[in-house]
Each structure stands twice: as structure tokens, then as C-alpha cells.
Chains A and B, each alone.
Chain A
Amino acid sequence: MSRERNFNEVNKDRRRVDGIGLVTGRALFTDDYDLPGMLSAKVLRSPHPHARVRSIDASRARRLPGVKAVLTWEDVPRVIVTEAGQGCPEPSPYDKFILDRKVRFVGDEVAVVAAETTAIAEAALRLIEVDYEPLPAILDPRDSMKEGAPIIHDEPEWLIPIPVEMDPKKNLCGRADVTIGDMAAGFAEADFVVENEYENHYAQHVANEPHISISYLDPDNRLVIISSTQVPFHVRRIVARALDLPVKRIRVIKPRIGGGFGSKQDIVTEPLAAALALATGRPVRLQLTRAEVFASSRTRHQCLTTLKTGIKRDGTLTAVEMTALQNAGPYGTHGLTVLTNTGSKILPLFRCPNVRFNAWSVYTNLSQGGAYRGYGGTQSGLAVNIQMDEMARLIALDPPDLYRRLHIREGEGSPVFAALGEGAEGHPMTINSCGLSDCIDIVVRESGWAHKRGRPGTGRLRRGLGMAVMMQGSSIPKIDMASCSIKMNEDGSFNLLCGATDIGTGSDTMMAKIAAEVLGVGIGDVIVYSSDTDLTPFDVGAYASSTTYLSGMSAKRCAEQVAAQIRVVAAELLGEAAEGIRLEGGEAVGTKGAVTLARVGARALYEHDQHQIAAFASAFSDQSPPPFAAHVAEVEVDTETGKVRVVRYVTATDCGVAINPLLAEGQVEGALLNGISYALSERYIYDGNGRLLNPSFGTYGVWFTRDLPEIRTFLVPTYEPTGPFGAKSIAEVNINGPMPAISNAIFDAVGLRLRTPPYTPEKVFMALHRR
């Protein structure tokens, strides 16, 4: 594939194709749909972390005027599913009934009501009498596999559809144990062996739009679901299974989505909304409150990581052993795959002949883990980058030099790629594009690293700098698939239909740009419609940073086929060979003249040898080329209060060719700020009975504009030959940097090594004053 560099649309900043609807507030999000006769649904939730439901008496609720349906486990098909939005067979255990006679966390679903208004539905909830038999609960993942621990999943229907090690009797829902080389020999060779424990904490995505779906029966008795989802095709399949319906009876439509970040990669509200639509025959809207989003949707997996590394004085890594215990929560959605990614998204990054990843994912009765930007790479990035800083100091090497020495390069592979897959074998991969050294150079220069590091000052306020480097992936190799269709209109414009799910990421714009680049038109001539399971071809959905790389590739292939068809018609019009015709500026240009695409389109539709110029293409990859990034954080620690202020944060990212540079920077900055607030203030506070005490913006510390530090964003261009026009993905990687970079900066400032974020003022203060 040639390295095309003179682009017309790709790598140029353009207004997004869907921008007008968004800035005028006219774009339709799920809650903006008004359907006649629509009912409001509310969920009755468990007050216990672990309990059997002995009986439910919903009679008074059902009699309340305005209540149209109350469903309990007895009213829905008893089919075990996973609600993880992943390719089928899902690498997550089937451990959930959409309503069950057992509850497994505070906030678990017990019953659901549909009523004429939300107020009536809420009143109905209070009339449902549930007799619970509380059971002992597991509130710490360290207790999950102990002898005699309560069994959270004792249902006989539990199953895992792929051949991996899981054991619900031990509360085990994910396992990885991979060894490369000889660990004992590796550690023996080292000049320094460092071993530390790290722990990253629960967090929530806090997308602006709470989870919501609407479901109704269309005139032909098909079940339609409009949902704020990242995965419309998985929704269709999983709802079909859960409600014992054929897939063909269901249509899922994705409207505008107010952010997902992984929280909407699972099937959260759709099954219950659909069940109520079937039960009442009316449209039903189920929207979570903000408190429910915090307590009862999805979170980032908490993980306890032990990292043991051996290093030689010259900076050679001789052995890396990572042991991880991950808290999956009450259901195992993404428990295995986040676990394996904890290893696979960092261990290949640094050259080392002896590597072991030994990890467990276990059930607890706390909040439910799911997909969250970073997806394991965030967890392990914490441990590895802090330990790199520590090792660098031990061998008196500047961290940038240590990173430069060790990081994977173009042309290299890593045995970890093949050894650690997503619930299956991995896939060997050679790095075709890596700008990480340039990234490191940039952040060192722009942060003032050389003259600022190691100079904390002596007053009440101390300053420090810390670094981190990271990689992610671009789609899941050999599992993810994307497809696209394009048809041509008589004015030389095109309709592009794709399954790719724009959740705010700008994927509609990206698809239009790629197609426009191939077809020689502006993005205004490509009209995109996405993510409707009846109308658009398949796409796994917006996750695993797959959209630009994979969905974009399907758009490129599809456009190329359409271009070929255009050339045939143009050739006939121009009286010359098709091969010599170029598409540019809205025209088909030959050696003897040119015709407009409108001319071509009209001819094909109406005039001669009439046919629809159109094509269809799919893409999947056996590669997942990683984007890379380097970060430097500069902090100021107030030693009197423990408050850590981020003074400046510099990031440089290699995402190959940026299809839309401005949007790519926006992805970087969004992921980054999320990572920063995760490092410093976001956290879940539970009481002794597993109840989440702070499900609110007022007490869960996301950041607003007055918190915003100075951020400097750089994109380092490289060219990824397997990606569309050289692109890799960019959406996730940067969230993995702040936890370790800020910890390293705190160490530089006050000599405190913090390994358990968030680095709240209390944590910093108490550590400072304890010594």
C-alpha cells in the first residue's frame, strides 16, 4: 500500500458532518423521542449486597392507577445470558438473568414497573413487597477465593461459552497464567530486583447522558429498541436471547449518544425496556437516574497488582512478573478480557526475555465492572510506569533514557502478543509504526524536564515532574469486524451506511472523510447513516479502539469498489479506458476530458445500462497496531493540606495518520483529563454493607473548567500500513498515563511513592506527616 501523503480530506481539519444538529440542540438523543402512549419505567433495586428473594408481592403495585405492568423474575423468560457487549461467543460468563430470584449487589435489579408517568412508577416501586433472605457478602476481592467464601453464582445454569478456566464455586470468573522464558534465571541475572504492590480503584465513566432506552412494537409486531448504546448489534442478539425471540424480530436503532467510554458497551437498560414493551404493548422508556448510573451500571475494574521486576545497571530488563487480582463485581462482564488486557496492553511495550502474567478475576458483591476506556491498560500502566521511575532512580538513569532504551520499535514483535489474547490465543504481531521515541522527545522538551526535574523547592509548595509511556491497540484481532455500504446518487453524492457507532467520537465524520478521499469529493457529498440493525451492515460497535482502524478500513475498501464502478461508466462516457481515469474534485478525469460525478450518477440510474452504482465491504484484521503515547505531568504539592495541583500536562501521541487532527486532539484531551481526575479525585465510597455512598456529582470528583490544568497536546505522525490511509486508533490510550505520571511527579516533588490512587489530599497529607 503506497504512502499517500497529499490528502484532500484525510488529515485535514473539517467540521464534523453532524455538527449543525448538535450545536443547535436539534440532534435527537434517545430521550428526545416522543412516542404516543409512551410509558415510563422504573427499576426496583436491592438494598442488600447478597440475598435470595424469597417472595415478591407486587399486587398493590399492580393495582395502583396508572401502572401498566410490573415484572419480576417470574414474568420473564428464564434464560441465562451475559450482558457484556462483545462478539459472540462472548468471552464473559453467562451469569445473569434479566430479573432473578437472587440479588448480588446493592442496586441489583429486582423488579421493574411501567406506568403512565415516572412519578407513578416510583410510587409503585414503594408498593412492591420483597421478602429477602440476606446472605453473607464478599466486599473485598481478597476474600472471594478463600475457603468457605459465599458462592455468589450458585445457579446451575451458569456457563462460559468458550473453553477458558473459570469456576463459580471459587468465585473465579477469569484466569490468565502465561510464562515466557525462565523467570528464576531472569531474576537471578538482575542487578536489582524490585517488587511492589499497586491498587487502582473503582471509577465511573460519568458520560453526560445517563443510560436510556426506548422500546416499542412496530406495526408489524417487530420489537424496536432505540438506545443510547455503543453496540447495537450486540444489543439485538442478547435481547433476542434473553427474551427468547428470534433476532429477526428485533430492530435496534442508535440515535445520538451522549458519551459512553465503555459504560454503554453493555446491555444495561434494553432487556427490561423491551420486556415491558412486550408486556404492555406500548412504547416504554427506561432512563437511569444519575445515582443509578453510578451504582447500577458499569465501572472500571478495581485491580490489585503485584509487580516484580529485575533490571541490570545498564537498563536491561531481565524479568517482569505481574500478578493481578481483579475485582469483577457481581457479574463477570468483561472480567476475563480486561484481565488479559491488563497484561497484553503493557507487557509487550518493553523488551524483556522473561515475562510472567499470572492473574485472577473474581466475583464480589460490590459494583459491576465493565468496559472502560483503557480496558486493563490503565490498571497495569499504573504499576509499570511507577516501577520504571523507581528502577530508573536505582540505576541512576533518567526515565526518558530508560524508556528509550527499552521500548518496542518498528519491525519488532513481542512474544506477549501471541501468548495473551482476549480469552483465546493471542496473535503474533510485528510493529509497523512506532513514533514513541519522538513522543518521548517532545514531552521531555515541552515540559522543561531537564531543568525542572529534581528541583522541588523548599517552601510549602513543592513541584515535581513525572513521566509515563503507554500503548493500546486498534481493534481486537481476528474477532472484531466492521462493514460498510455506499451507493451513488444522481447528483454525484453518496449515501454511506455503516454499523460503526458514533458515540460522540466523530466516527460518522471519519467514515465520510475516508470515503470522500477515495471518491475525490468533499465530505459534504457523503451522507452517513449509522448503526441501525435493519438498515446498516454489521459492526461490532464502538469499543477496543476499533472504529478508525477497522470501520475506517471497511469504508476505504467499499469506496474503492464504488470508485471502480464509477470509472467504468465514466470510461464509457469519455470513450477511454477505465484504468486511466482518476477521481478528483467531484469529477472523473481521463486523459481526453472529464465528466462530473453527477453526470455519471444520472447516467447509471436513468439513462443507459441502468444500475445502482453501489458496493459493500467488510474489514477485520489479524493485527491490532498500537497507538503509542508519552506523558509528562508537572505537579505542585501543598504540603500543608496534601492537595496536588497539576500545573502542566504534556502529551504526545502516535496514532499513525490522524484522519481528523482536531478531533484526534479532542480524543486525547478528553481521555487525558478523565485519567487525571481518576488519579486525583474520583472514587467510590462504600459503607460496611456494600452500599455506594457517593453516587452524585457533589461527592464524586469529576472535573470542571476551573479544575482544568494547562494541557499541551502533540500528535506525532507516523504511517501504519495496515490502517486506512495510514491511520491507527486513538480513543483510549491516553487515559493510561496520568495515574503513574502524577505519582512519579509527586515523588519528584516530595519524595513520596504513592501506589494506590486516587492521590487525594488526605492520602498525600497523611503519608507526608506519617514519616
Chain B
Amino acid sequence: MKMEFSINGVLKTVDAEPGEVLLDVLRREGYKGAKFGCGQGFCGACTVLLDGEPVNSCLLLAGLVEGRKITTIEGIGSVDRLHPIQEAFLDAGAVQCGYCTPGFILSAKSLLDKDPSPDEARIRGGLDGNYCRCTGYVKIVNAVKLAARRLAAGKGGARRRGARR
């Protein structure tokens, strides 16, 4: 059946089976940043934003969210111009294997959009559905704090990538 979604601000019509979950539809359409980790809505590797709120796309039947706004990691920053949250994750050492990273960045974005200066408890609460085995979460929490500070100061995001050191 044909379904229509807004994905990263672009209206797309896709072909999908009635029983397909959003994760599979997105990945087939080329949005590979959302990952399969458990298929049961626990690990958050499949996190996307639905109308700005993080959801497990592995649990969500695509046919139930027709017409709604979906944001994937591909809609956050670009290789050329990273979003401040992406910069913060790199600078804080919060990225190891990277499998969980898109999910965490989206959850962090949703959190910071609603609460620009969250305390530690709020940060942990906002990220509580994203699993990481590599980092032990310490640097990830630091990254969100760093992103919050930078966003508040209006820095970051405007920097072009340029030549790497």
C-alpha cells in the first residue's frame, strides 16, 4: 500500500506492506541511520523523532503514522556542517562504535529542544531508552551537557568542516 510521510521536512510517498514497521520502511528508503538492535523497543538503536518526540521505529507500524513528521539522523546536520550536538558528541569522546549514536543524538535533540538547560537527572531521563555498551554512558551525558552549553552560547554549527587537523 502507498503511504505518505514527511521525512526530514520532505514529503515522501513510499510503498510498504501493511504489517511493516517504520524502521524497515525507512531503511529501505535509504535512511540507514536508524538501526536494528533488538526489534522489541528496548535498545533504541532504531530511534527516530515523531513530531519531535523520540520513538522506537522498530515497534511502530508505518501504516499508523501516515502523514506525520518524522525526523531521522539524516535530517540533523550534514557531513559538511555538523549540528552542535554532533560536534559535542565528537569532542566529548562520546562516540565509540557509533551504532547507538544516531539514536542518542536524536533523543538529545528532542530533549534540548524542549529543555535547553537540563540537569544531570533530566539528561539521564531523556536518554533512558538508548542503550550503549561501549561507553558506559559517561561521555554521552557529558556530550549532552556540552551541547547544551554551546547551544546556549550560540556557538557551534556555524563552523565549516574545512581541513582536519
A-side residues, CB < 8 A to B, are 13-29, 31-32, 205-210, 256-259, 261, 287, 289-290, 503-506, 522-524, 662-663, 665-666, 668-674, 696-698, 702, 704-706, 708, 711, 713
A23 in contact with B139 (CB, 8 Å): no
Contact with A along B28-51 (1 / 0, CB 8 A): 000011111111101101000000
9 contacts between A and B (CB under 8 A): A20-B82, A20-B90, A23-B82, A25-B102, A27-B98, A206-B133, A208-B133, A670-B133, A705-B127
User: Which chain A residues border B34 with CB–CB below 8 Å?
Assistant: 25
A22 in contact with B133 (CB, 8 Å): no
A18 to B95, CA, bound (A): 10
B35 in contact with A31 (CB, 8 Å): yes
Q: Is B165 an interface residue (CB 8 A)?
A: yes
User: Which chain B residues border A290 with CB–CB below 8 Å?
Assistant: 37-40, 43
User: Which chain A residues border B92 with CB–CB below 8 Å?
Assistant: 662
A258 in contact with B137 (CB, 8 Å): no
User: Which chain B residues border A673 with CB–CB below 8 Å?
Assistant: 136-137
Q: Is B110 an interface residue (CB 8 A)?
A: no
A704 in contact with B129 (CB, 8 Å): yes
Interface-facing stretch out of B60-68, B73-81, B152-160: B73-81
A670 in contact with B134 (CB, 8 Å): yes
Determine which residue in B73, B127, B131 has the highest number of CB atoms from chain A within 10 A of its CB, and name it: B131
User: Which chain A residues border B128 with CB–CB below 8 Å?
Assistant: 704-706
Q: Is B138 an interface residue (CB 8 A)?
A: yes
B95 in contact with A522 (CB, 8 Å): no
Q: Is B112 an interface residue (CB 8 A)?
A: no
User: Which chain A residues border B42 with CB–CB below 8 Å?
Assistant: 696-698
A524 to B131, CA, bound (A): 30
User: Which chain A residues border B86 with CB–CB below 8 Å?
Assistant: 23-24
User: Which chain B residues border A704 with CB–CB below 8 Å?
Assistant: 127-131, 137
Q: For chain B residues 3-35, which have a beta carbon within 8 Å of chain A?
A: 27, 32-35
Determine which residue in A22, A32, A669, A698 has the highest number of CB atoms from chain B within 10 A of its CB, and name it: A22
User: Which chain A residues border B76 with CB–CB below 8 Å?
Assistant: 24
Q: Is B105 an interface residue (CB 8 A)?
A: yes
User: Which chain B residues border A207 with CB–CB below 8 Å?
Assistant: 97, 99, 133
A29 to B96, CA, bound (A): 14
B37 in contact with A208 (CB, 8 Å): yes
* A20 touching B79 in the complex, CB below 8 Å, given contacts A205-B133, A524-B163: yes
Among all A-B residue pairs, the 4 with the closest Cβ atoms: A25-B33, A504-B97, A524-B164, A258-B99
User: Which chain B residues border A666 with CB–CB below 8 Å?
Assistant: 93-94, 96, 134-136, 138-139
* A209 touching B35 in the complex, CB below 8 Å, given contacts A256-B98, A257-B97, A696-B40: yes
Closest CB in chain B relative to A205 CB, distance in Å = 7
B141 in contact with A209 (CB, 8 Å): no
Beyond A207-B97, A258-B99, A704-B128, list 19 extra A-B contacts (CB 8 Å): A24-B74, A24-B76, A25-B72, A208-B97, A208-B99, A258-B35, A258-B37, A258-B45, A289-B39, A290-B38, A504-B134, A666-B136, A669-B135, A669-B138, A697-B40, A705-B125, A705-B137, A706-B124, A706-B128
A674 to B100, CA, bound (A): 16
B133 in contact with A702 (CB, 8 Å): yes
A752 to B44, CA, bound (A): 37
A259 in contact with B35 (CB, 8 Å): no
User: Which chain A residues border B105 with CB–CB below 8 Å?
Assistant: 23
* A670 touching B135 in the complex, CB below 8 Å, given contacts A208-B97, A258-B99, A704-B128: yes
A429 to B45, CA, bound (A): 44
A208 in contact with B100 (CB, 8 Å): yes
Q: Is B70 an interface residue (CB 8 A)?
A: no
- 8 Å CB contact of B125 from A206, A702, A706: A706
User: Which chain A residues border B32 with CB–CB below 8 Å?
Assistant: 25-26, 28, 31-32
Q: Is B115 an interface residue (CB 8 A)?
A: no
A708 to B161, CA, bound (A): 34
Q: Is B101 an interface residue (CB 8 A)?
A: yes
Closest to A706 in B: B128
User: Which chain A residues border B79 with CB–CB below 8 Å?
Assistant: 20-21, 24, 26
* A29 touching B35 in the complex, CB below 8 Å, given contacts A666-B139, A708-B138, A711-B136: yes
A523 in contact with B165 (CB, 8 Å): yes
A708 in contact with B90 (CB, 8 Å): no
Q: Is B91 an interface residue (CB 8 A)?
A: yes
* A259 touching B97 in the complex, CB below 8 Å, given contacts A24-B86, A25-B73: yes
B77 in contact with A24 (CB, 8 Å): yes
User: Which chain B residues border A205 with CB–CB below 8 Å?
Assistant: 133
B131 in contact with A504 (CB, 8 Å): no
Closest CB in chain A relative to B137 CB, distance in Å = 5
A26 to B102, CA, bound (A): 10
B35 in contact with A713 (CB, 8 Å): no
A332 to B144, CA, bound (A): 44
A505 to B163, CA, bound (A): 24
A663 to B135, CA, bound (A): 9
Closest to A20 in B: B79
Closest CB in chain B relative to A319 CB, distance in Å = 37
A287 in contact with B137 (CB, 8 Å): no
B133 in contact with A24 (CB, 8 Å): no
User: Which chain A residues border B136 with CB–CB below 8 Å?
Assistant: 666, 668-674, 708, 711
B138 in contact with A259 (CB, 8 Å): no
A706 to B129, CA, bound (A): 9
User: Which chain B residues border A523 with CB–CB below 8 Å?
Assistant: 164-165
- 8 Å CB contact of A669 from B73, B98, B139: B139
Q: Is B55 an interface residue (CB 8 A)?
A: no
B139 in contact with A209 (CB, 8 Å): no
A566 to B18, CA, bound (A): 62
* A287 touching B36 in the complex, CB below 8 Å, given contacts A24-B78, A208-B132, A673-B136: yes
User: Which chain B residues border A663 with CB–CB below 8 Å?
Assistant: 93, 96
A393 to B133, CA, bound (A): 35
User: Which chain A residues border B89 with CB–CB below 8 Å?
Assistant: 23
User: Which chain B residues border A18 with CB–CB below 8 Å?
Assistant: 98
A17 to B136, CA, bound (A): 21
- 8 Å CB contact of B91 from A15, A210, A256, A287: A15
Closest to B28 in A: A34
Closest CB in chain A relative to B18 CB, distance in Å = 13
A208 to B35, CA, bound (A): 9
Closest CB in chain A relative to B92 CB, distance in Å = 8
User: Which chain B residues border A702 with CB–CB below 8 Å?
Assistant: 131, 133
Closest to A502 in B: B97
A23 in contact with B101 (CB, 8 Å): yes
A504 in contact with B98 (CB, 8 Å): yes
Closest CB in chain B relative to A151 CB, distance in Å = 37
A16 in contact with B35 (CB, 8 Å): no
User: Which chain B residues border A208 with CB–CB below 8 Å?
Assistant: 35, 37, 43, 45, 97, 99-100, 131-134
